[in-house]
Structures are given as C-alpha cells and as structure tokens.
Amino acid sequence: MIDRAVPAPTPPSRGNPPAQDAVPTPAATAPVIGQAALDSLAVALRGWGRELGFDEIRVADVDLRHAEAGLLAWLQAGCHGDMDYMANHGTRRARPHELVPGTVRAIVARMPYLPADGPADWRRHELARLDDPATAVVSLYARGRDYHKVLRNRLQQLAARIETEIGRFGYRVFTDSAPVMEVALASQGGLGWRGKHTLLLDREGGSMFFLGEILVDIPLPADPAEAPHCGSCRRCIDICPTGAILEPYRLDARRCISYLTIEHKGPIPEPLRAPMGNRVYGCDDCQLACPWNKFAHRATLPDFDVRNGFDAPDMVDLFGWTEAEFNQRLEGSPIRRIGHERWLRNLAVGLGNSLRRAAADDPALAARIRAALRACQDTATPLVREHVDWALAQDPAAD
C-alpha cells in the first residue's frame, strides 16, 4: 500500500494510485459526549469492527508532526519515483486536520487478507513458487477482490453504526485513497509498529493486512503507540531482490518490485529486470522472510479468496490474454488498475527470466515461452515490444 514507502522519521512503511474516497458525511458540529460515554464508545468500536471483518480497531491521535521531516526528506530524495500524487499534497499527509478540518482523532482499522484456504506452511510454499519458471507470482493481497472497495464499504458501515449511537458527527473514510500517512497513524494508535521494511507489524498478527481510517471530530480516548519489536533482525532487508530497502525503515520505491510492476508506467529499468524473476504483480519477499508473519491472521471475508487461479497461474497462459479477456477476468480485481499494457510488460519480463532458466532444464516450457513471445512481437505496443525483445534475448539459444 502507498504509505509503505514513506520512511519513519527516526529509527525506534499492497501500491495503487489514489482512488475515489467514500462519500463523507457532511461536516457537522461534533456532538457533546461525556468522557465515560467516549470511553465506552472506544471499547464498543472494537466489537463492531470485528463483526465487519476487521481484526483490530484502535484510536489514534492525529498529531503527526514527528513524521513530517522524514516524509519531506524522502520526497526530496526522489524515492517516490513516478508517484507524483505523493508529493502533490506535501505536508498535508502529516496534517490530517488540514485534510479534513475539525479532525481530532483517527479510528484506525486493519483487515487480514491472507487467503483462508491456503496451506499451513504458506510462507515456505510461496518462497518455493519463486523457483518455478512456469508460474507467475502475484502478490497475495491482489489474488482476490479489490481491497479498496471492501474496506471503504466496511468502514462506512462502521461510521454509520457510530452515528446510530451518538447522532451526526463529522467524519471521512479512507483506504489507501488520499494523502493520509496510514502506517504512521496506525502505529501511533497501537495497531503495530513500522517494521524495517516500512510495513506495519504486529506481534499477534504479522503484516498481512490492509489498513483503513476514519478521521473523526469526536475526542475519543487515544490508544498508546506500540513499541517496535524488530530488534537486530534484518531478514526483510537481506531478502529484497532489488536492494530496495536501503537501510532500516528507508525504502527506495524506484527499486521496489511492487512499485515497478504496479505504479511505474514506463519501461522497467534493465538492471532490475532479472532480479524480478517471475514476480509479475507486486512482491511479498520481505513479508515472507519476516518471523512475525508466522502469526499472520487468515482472512475472514470471502472477498479475499483466490480468483483466476492466482495461487499458481501459468505465465504463458496469462500472457495470452487479450485486452478484452484481461478486463473481463479481472473485473473487481486490483490488478485491473494497471491496464493490459503494463500487465503484458510485467509478464514479458517474467517470461524472459523463465526462458533463461528453462532453456536447459525444461525444453518444452522454453518452446512455449519462445512461441508466446514471438507471437506478440508484431502487434505489441512499443512499451511491450521493448520488453518482449529483451525477453527473447535472454534465450541462451539466441547467442
């Protein structure tokens, strides 16, 4: 998700472009509520949230001044790459009260997305798939329904439930859809801490979850922040295929496979193509390596069940989808946001890497890959053609 790329200001960040926010309740004068009632409401929120599929709900203070300097330095260094929308709003990302006037608290929520029917040893299973040249690897979070729609709808229901209890109040719902520092707010509210890979981590839930927020104008009691528990571990840093995690808590999106396959619109830099391997949409390596993810929760909603066989899709078959098939098959999927051209671009890189490996060990697979790439050459757009030509050049038989 977007905020994963923003570094923590001091040592102790799923991404997609901004989507339309849920329609907010019109600004209203915050109801006058006694402290006992506010305390009771904060407790009730957690139960209501679980009924809606969230595994944790907390309340965060919205003063993020401590994160502002780190955000600006990260942007100035250009680590956001093509994600101009991250720079367009400047310091508003660290000032929720400027984004939604009257905001005094953020209700922060997380929802697990690890497919419910996956294998018990899912981390080992996913790492093994990276060594299968016939298979395309799609990030776990993107194998089901688009999380933006699911979380926004559920958060809106939660806000409506609050309204039935206290009357009209000012609020606005967000899910990776506006200039909000989601990880900073979530960690400030005690949902977890920012790990060295910049994602939010929790000792009881790992990091395989989505984040969402409701900015509110009612002074709910704020939960305390969670202390970091990464210690000296650096497994997420060491496993990153492209060296995108420059140092603990600092990620250069321009080198991140999630950014390259989702956010980046142009050609993938050639030095980074081979390290991508068969990862065609997103990358989970840093999460697979994290010890805390042995405690990751399974999704409780069917929305995140695997679709389109994305737990083990055939890469050549995916490359053969026409634009109409791409749009039809991926209706309701977050993958559809990147469009058919970037989908083919990513797959061409994956096929080139697989061709290099399969040429000696699996002649039949190598022949399928060559045929698929050559069939695309004459009709491909310039962007796709560049990557197809590169992929064919990876064939040892072409030397």
User: What is the set of active-site residues?
Assistant: 176
Cα dist from 319 to 79, 103, 315, 345, 357, whole Å: 30, 47, 6, 9, 18
Could you give the CA distance from residue 69 to residue 272 in angstroms, rounded to a whole number?
30
Annotation-wise, does 202 bind a ligand? Answer: no
Burial 258-270 (b: 16+ CB within 10 A, else e): bbbbbbbeeebee
Annotation-wise, does 79 bind a ligand? Answer: no
Annotation-wise, does 200 bind a ligand? Answer: yes
Could you give the CA distance from residue 66 to residue 336 in angstroms, rounded to a whole number?
36
Annotation-wise, does 55 bind a ligand? Answer: no
Annotation-wise, does 233 bind a ligand? Answer: yes
- Look at residue 245 and give its three-state secondary structure: strand
Position 295: which residue type? Answer: F
Residue holding tokens 């603990």?
Answer: 248
17 DSSP 8-state letter: -
Annotation-wise, does 376 bind a ligand? Answer: no
Annotation-wise, does 211 bind a ligand? Answer: yes
Could you give the CA distance from residue 210 to residue 149 in angstroms, rounded to a whole number?
12
Annotation-wise, does 207 bind a ligand? Answer: no
Could you give the CA distance from residue 46 to residue 56 in angstroms, rounded to a whole number?
7
Could you list the residues known to form a binding site for [4Fe-4S] cluster, using ranges. 230, 233, 236, 240, 256, 283, 286, 290
Q: Which residues are annotated as a binding site?
A: 93, 176, 200, 211, 230, 233, 236, 240, 256, 258, 265, 283-284, 286, 290
Which segments are annotated as binding site for cob(II)alamin? Answer: 93, 176, 200, 211, 258, 283-284
